[in-house]
């Protein structure tokens, strides 16, 4: 089986016609299960979960319309999984839990995009990296990621080392390996699933997420994976799956996780078309 659960249709309207562009690319690339996972911050229903000036300007959508699009697509005979990508902000666990229960998600992605008011993966905030100590920023990011996994609220971890998105990487392999070891232990202890994401290949860093050291450490501790594109355009659904599948298999993985109504099932990894 192949799945692509991490995709965003936000550049178009919440219509079945728009969704069909994503579905047809998924089909052409041999993706058996396609799912949408809009950024939660875009919805008016999430104003209590995360608030800052950047987000406030962009919180314009209604989650019910997003859910209706999925429902309408299903009525039209399409198989579509209903997901969401949530920003994890420490201290909001109780509110997150209530929000997650309020919609019939097939899966919920936990992602860290914010270190305080620093949206580290946003182009608009890229210049803020110039005043940052890279190792300290990684410490902060991986600490929040640890808290997120320990909350056990999410079905899988989105792009676990997306902190490298613009190519800021510590020149210290021991530092990284120590984090990878600690993170993989946290994933394993908390029964987490992690994402192998091709999105980094389309970003300045030009690499898959997560780094080989982190994927290897996770494999050694039996942490399951999903494979996703994080597509924001139809043409990126299933993008570079040949690379992601080889990467997973070379690491030792033979299975991936599928989700239905937040329940897991395990399937042999197929070859993409
Ligand atoms: Zn993300
Ligand atoms: Zn995403």
**Ligand 2: distance of its center to the CA of 227 in Å?**
13
Higher pLDDT residue, 107 or 273? 107
Give the Cβ contact number of residue 11 at 10 Å. Answer: 9
* Contact status, residue 214 vs residue 202, Cβ threshold 8 Å: no
pLDDT band at 229 (very low <50, low <70, confident <90, very high): very high
State the distance from the centre of ligand 2 to the C-alpha of 230, rounded, in angstroms. Answer: 5
* Whole-number Cα distances in Å, 81 to 86, 217, 234: 16, 29, 16
d(CA 111, CA 107): 13
Write down the pLDDT at residue 41. Answer: 97
- 170 Cα: distance to centroid of ligand 2 (angstroms): 24
Confidence of residue 7 (pLDDT cuts 50, 70, 90): very high
Q: pTM to 2 decimals?
A: 0.98
Q: How many Å lie between the centroid of ligand 1 and the Cα of residue 158?
A: 6
Q: Kindly give the distance from the C-alpha atom of residue 181 to the centroid of ligand 2, in angstroms, as a whole number.
A: 25
Task: Calculate mean pLDDT across residues 35-60.
Answer: 96
Domains with residue ranges and CATH for the chain? 3-268 (3.20.20.140)
Cα 159 to ligand 1 centroid, rounded to whole Å: 7
**CA distance linking residue 27 with residue 23, whole number of Å:** 6
Q: Give the number of whichever ligand sits closest to the CA of residue 8.
A: 2
Ligand at minimal distance from the CA of 236 is: 2
Residue 155 half-sphere exposure, CB side, CA atoms within 13 Å? 24
| Nearest ligand (C-alpha, residue 7) | 2
Proximal ligand: closest to the CA of 114: 1
For residue 160, the CA-to-ligand 1 centroid distance in Å is 9
- pLDDT at position 40 is 98
Query: How much distance in Å is there from the Cα of 263 to the middle of ligand 1?
Result: 22
pLDDT of residue 76: 98
Tell me the per-residue pLDDT of 158-168, one tens digit each, with 9 for 90 and over.
999 999 999 99
Mean pLDDT of the chain: 97
Q: What's the 113 CA to ligand 1 centre distance in angstroms?
A: 7
Calculate how far, in angstroms, residue 111's C-alpha sits from the geometric centre of ligand 1.
6
| Cα(246) to centroid(ligand 1), Å | 23
Say which ligand is closest to the CA of 87. 1
Ligand nearest to the CA of 113: 1
Ligand 1 centroid–CA 196 distance in Å is: 12
pLDDT of residue 130: 96
Residues 226-238, mean pLDDT to the nearest whole number: 98
Residue 142 pLDDT grade (very low, low, confident, very high; cuts 50, 70, 90): very high
Report the C-alpha gap between 124 and 266 in whole angstroms.
39
Cα 85 to ligand 1 centre (Å): 7
Mean pLDDT, to the nearest integer, of 64-82? 98
| pLDDT on residue 235 | 98
Q: How far is the CA of 154 from the centre of ligand 2 (A)?
A: 14
Nearest to 231 by CA among 203, 199, 256, 201: 199
In whole angstroms, what is the distance from residue 216 CA to residue 223 CA?
A: 10
Q: Using 50, 70 and 90 to split pLDDT, how confident is the model at 194?
A: very high
pLDDT for res 119: 98
Q: Count other Cβ atoms within 10 Å, centred on residue 173.
A: 10
Strand order in the sheet with 80-87: 3-4, 33-39, 80-87, 107-111, 156-157, 194-197, 225-228
CA distance 111 to 154: 9
The string of pLDDT tens digits covering residues 118-134 is 999 999 999 999 999 99
Split at pLDDT 50, 70, 90, the class of 177 is: very high
């Amino acid at each position: 089986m192949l799945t692509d659960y991490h995709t965003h249709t936000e550049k178009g309207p919440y219509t079945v016609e728009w969704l069909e562009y994503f579905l047809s690319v998924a089909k052409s690339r041999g993706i058996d299960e396609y799912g949408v996972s809009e950024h939660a911050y875009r919805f008016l229903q999430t104003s209590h979960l995360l608030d800052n000036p950047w987000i406030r300007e962009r919180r314009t959508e209604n989650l019910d319309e997003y859910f209706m699009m999925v429902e309408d697509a299903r009525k039209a005979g399409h198989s579509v999984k209903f997901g969401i990508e949530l920003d994890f902000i420490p201290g909001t666990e109780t509110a997150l839990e209530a929000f997650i229960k309020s919609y019939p998600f097939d899966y919920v992605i936990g992602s860290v995009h914010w270190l305080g008011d620093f949206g580290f993966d946003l182009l608009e905030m890229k210049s803020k990296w110039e005043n940052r100590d890279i190792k300290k920023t990684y410490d902060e990011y991986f600490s929040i990621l640890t808290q997120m996994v320990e909350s056990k609220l999410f079905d899988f971890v989105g792009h676990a080392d997306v902190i490298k998105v613009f190519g800021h990487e510590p020149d210290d392999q021991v530092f990284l390996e120590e984090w990878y070891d600690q993170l993989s232990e946290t994933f394993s202890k908390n029964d987490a699933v992690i994402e192998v994401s091709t999105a980094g290949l389309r970003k300045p860093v030009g690499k898959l997420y997560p780094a080989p050291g982190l994927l290897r450490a996770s494999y050694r501790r039996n942490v399951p994976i999903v494979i996703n594109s994080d597509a924001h355009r139809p043409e990126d659904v299933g993008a570079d799956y040949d690379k992601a599948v080889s990467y997973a298999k070379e690491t030792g993985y033979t299975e991936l996780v599928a989700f239905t109504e937040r329940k897991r099932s395990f399937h042999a990894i197929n070859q993409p078309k």
